[in-house]
Structure 1
């Protein structure tokens, strides 16, 4: 079976009139000298492509390493923009990139199509049957792909090769203009180095910041502004919004990108160990200190130290941190020798530190030292349709992990995601997509390789669009079957367990919700047999 054929001009091909082609291409040529956003240039490019060569869907994808990133789509589901296609997992994309000429796949090709199930407005499991694509070359190297797809297997039988080649040349010129503009925007060797560091930080080891809403764009602009300085940054936002991603992006764009970024979750350590983790200790400083150990500040020397959940730091440790921030000098526990460090500090919290200062739980001088440049990360409910882009990103991750050809959202599922208030923000969305995909696959007896998630698969509690109703925990005690003391103990245990699960075993966050001091919660957990 022949998988694909090169597009060749045939005597039977129906050619477009020169005037018709000129009418479509002229505006694109004029756009080359205009000041337009990248997204608008690409939108006009795809619109013109579908005008000249009518199909059901078109896409422009940029090659970043071994991954194709959708930059613009026309006729595909909006979550496609959030997907990342690894070339090694998509043989059609691999073939398109391996040939300089346009390639059209046979309608009966057994190669999986990455767009199956993603064509907009199509119900059921209809698959793409006519697929045409070609690489866009910049400087002789593949920059990305331009694809055109149709559900009708004979849609591109009469394609005009001369018109297609003219359009491809113009498309390459368009992306070349975009690339040149982007290059000119980065002035000097330092900016180029920062951009490279950011691209490396956005690779497989780090999550990408996906979004196109105004609030997300404003956040990116703020990151770019503060990254070039050495100012201390205080990142605030609700649990699950991605504060650590923001910290990573700031470091990657900074002049310290070549140096380490060291992270410490202040809520994950008991008070007795926080100081040792931050400043280090010498042998014999306390019971169990069998050797000298460098702290996080020394490990981050020359780079960045990220303190997550900084609001959980004890007051005594805050005072010592203040001294380090003021003069860069610290002492290991048990040592009289001072160490000089050069560290940029980025802190994050989901607390209102100003209120903590007023309540006497946080030092005012330390708060003002931290909040030199405050940066708020918006909750997911304020980011509009970004939820679909993020869903697409997580869908593609789970598609690859579960070995599916396609994992998509039904229309009612997209509507449900847009209506839900997302109290757990992006982290909740990630867990929801992963859990729902796994459950849907397990309940699919036919084991279809193209899987569609419906609103019912999400199993939201309560009415969509409102606050989710609290479900009664499975471990809730049956009071009538126990004596009073046992019933109270069982109820306390169920409440603590449920609260910890809701906060991903973050004891400090659970203590805040329960209105308990963290030490009191630890003692309660021991009494209940949870520790």
Structure 2
């Protein structure tokens, strides 16, 4: 490409940009805000209608950290250059790369431009710059303009200067955030363990105030030995938070043992937790350590602690108070040093009031409570989660060009998501499979199978006469049952308890309404 006839940007524009970058870099801003300020500053001096700033991660993937004029779902994704020829071309060049309006290379942002029908931008000018600090590639910038030839008005020297300023700023922000991170974590091994936890369990995705507060809570309590009680609805990520707490703790190099209290058979629960000796009961053919012993010096994660029987709650309390376990059938006590993390989707305070959970055990566990917000209360996080979850689908089904219509993101945000992130993930997976099976690369409302939520109560009432009063009541009952089942992973007993109904009656009603 040639910029020989292009116009240089006035020096005062560069000076203004440089000053703004310096001011923003020195400002105390939330994590990630520096990147958005950087991109906003670039957009003030370049004729861009849609832009994105990427950093290059350790796996050589491009991670979007700031966007303008594009769908927020992009922030939840990672872009593999091998799957996106334009991004690969940008990274392969030290000079700015311009793509003509009729370029045969697919645009990585097709269908993801805000304010356009279905997010499409068929005729436009596209420019990309790789970001280098000395000889190290640190990221990239992409710029799109609706006007063909818009970037020909800017000289190559100007664009290269801006790219150099942006690269230096990215490097400085990265170093600052790394220093802040090292102050929060005592051991370098923790970072590896956190990445392992994310790889195995997923990662906390979201920029909402609720998620920022959650991140602060985890960073605050993780280095201590305090017991942590994680509460939240089904699908909010309680297990992930438990793994991150352990990964960021001083016990991170010791084992984390997980126990699903809801799955413990009543007859074997004590043996599972505290172990047994040979001959303690029929079938005990050898000595066996319990979960507490296995977690010695590490962390014991008691998932669904609210399901633990009262008798076992008393024995658990004794261990927590005295730090000693006694195997079933043994006379000797064994001292253990275990950090307890518990999780529940029940209101344990209410369970205490109802006599179903011991008050003394509740207060022993409730040293540092963490309440996970439901997805419907996480402002603006649904599009980010959608982008992140679809990234996994693209990898799993080898569909790198698969994306979702921007208008569908609004639809997703309107849903109640009783099953939270897990329900959202299943919904997107079904939609993606439906689109792939039909040979399509764009997920639409038809694939999602979701209806537009009507916030007007009067509109809901107005629909009743058309279907009849009894049918409206039955539809409402069916939705309530389906929502309760989704919240409790399809367990009828738990769904009945949450609806304050007898399990048998609820099952019969569900069968009548076609839920079963």
TM-score range, shorter chain: 0.7 to 0.9
In structure 1, the partner of 2:510 is none
Deviation at residue 415 of structure 1 after TM alignment: 2.3
Aligned residue among 54, 61, 78 for 2:72: 78
In structure 1, the partner of 2:475 is none
Deviation at residue 287 of structure 1 after TM alignment: 2.9
1:404, 1:451 within 8 Å by CA — same for their partners in 2?
no
2:418, 2:487 within 8 Å by CA — same for their partners in 1?
no
1:88-487 to 2 correspondences below 5 Å: 89-105=83-99, 111-124=105-118, 125-126=120-121, 130-138=125-133, 140-150=135-145, 154-157=149-152, 159-186=154-181, 191-193=186-188, 196-197=191-192, 199-201=194-196, 203-442=198-437, 444=438, 447-448=439-440, 450-454=441-445, 456-460=446-450, 463-465=453-455
Deviation at residue 514 of structure 1 after TM alignment: 6.6
Q: Secondary structure at the match of 2:201?
A: coil
Q: Secondary structure at the match of 2:284?
A: coil
The one-character-per-residue Cα deviations of 1:2-52 (angstroms, maximum 9, x if unpaired) are: xxxxx6x64333322323433444322343333334444322321232333
- Bigger CA drift: 194-203 or 271-280? 194-203
2:301, 2:341 within 8 Å by CA — same for their partners in 1?
yes
Distance 1:251 1:266, change over 3 A: same
In structure 2, the partner of 1:11 is 4
CA distance in structure 2 between the aligned counterparts of 1:25 and 1:498, rounded to whole angstroms: 53
CA distance in structure 2 between the aligned counterparts of 1:126 and 1:178, rounded to whole angstroms: 32
The one-character-per-residue Cα deviations of 1:91-133 (angstroms, maximum 9, x if unpaired) are: 5444544554444456666554432221222224545865433
In structure 1, the partner of 2:514 is none
CA distance in structure 1 between the aligned counterparts of 2:505 and 2:312, rounded to whole angstroms: 20
Deviation at residue 345 of structure 1 after TM alignment: 0.7
Deviation at residue 383 of structure 1 after TM alignment: 1.0
Distance 1:501 1:413, change over 3 A: closer
CA distance in structure 2 between the aligned counterparts of 1:194 and 1:273, rounded to whole angstroms: 36
Residues 1:509 and 2:494 aligned together: yes
2:129, 2:140 within 8 Å by CA — same for their partners in 1?
yes
2:111, 2:406 within 8 Å by CA — same for their partners in 1?
no
TM-score by length of 1: 0.81
2:418, 2:486 within 8 Å by CA — same for their partners in 1?
no
Aligned residue among 25, 42, 55 for 2:48: 55
1:194, 1:253 within 8 Å by CA — same for their partners in 2?
no
Instruction: List alignment gaps of at least 5 residues for structure 2.
Output: 461-479, 508-516
CA distance in structure 1 between the aligned counterparts of 2:362 and 2:487, rounded to whole angstroms: 28
Residues 1:32 and 2:22 aligned together: no
The one-character-per-residue Cα deviations of 1:295-316 (angstroms, maximum 9, x if unpaired) are: 2222222221111110000112
CA distance in structure 1 between the aligned counterparts of 2:274 and 2:130, rounded to whole angstroms: 53
2:90, 2:128 within 8 Å by CA — same for their partners in 1?
yes
Distance 1:466 1:62, change over 3 A: farther
- Bigger CA drift: 14-23 or 186-195? 186-195
1:92, 1:113 within 8 Å by CA — same for their partners in 2?
yes
Q: Secondary structure at the match of 1:346?
A: strand
Distance 1:357 1:350, change over 3 A: same
CA distance in structure 2 between the aligned counterparts of 1:422 and 1:429, rounded to whole angstroms: 7
1:420, 1:464 within 8 Å by CA — same for their partners in 2?
no
TM-score by length of 2: 0.83
CA RMSD of aligned residues (A): 3.4
Q: Secondary structure at the match of 1:32?
A: helix
- Bigger CA drift: 31-40 or 112-121? 31-40
Q: How many residues align?
A: 484
Instruction: List alignment gaps of at least 5 residues for structure 1.
Output: 1-6, 470-494, 523-531
2:252, 2:298 within 8 Å by CA — same for their partners in 1?
yes
CA distance in structure 2 between the aligned counterparts of 1:261 and 1:87, rounded to whole angstroms: 36
The one-character-per-residue Cα deviations of 1:261-318 (angstroms, maximum 9, x if unpaired) are: 2212111232222222222233333333343333222222222111111000011211
Deviation at residue 76 of structure 1 after TM alignment: 0.9
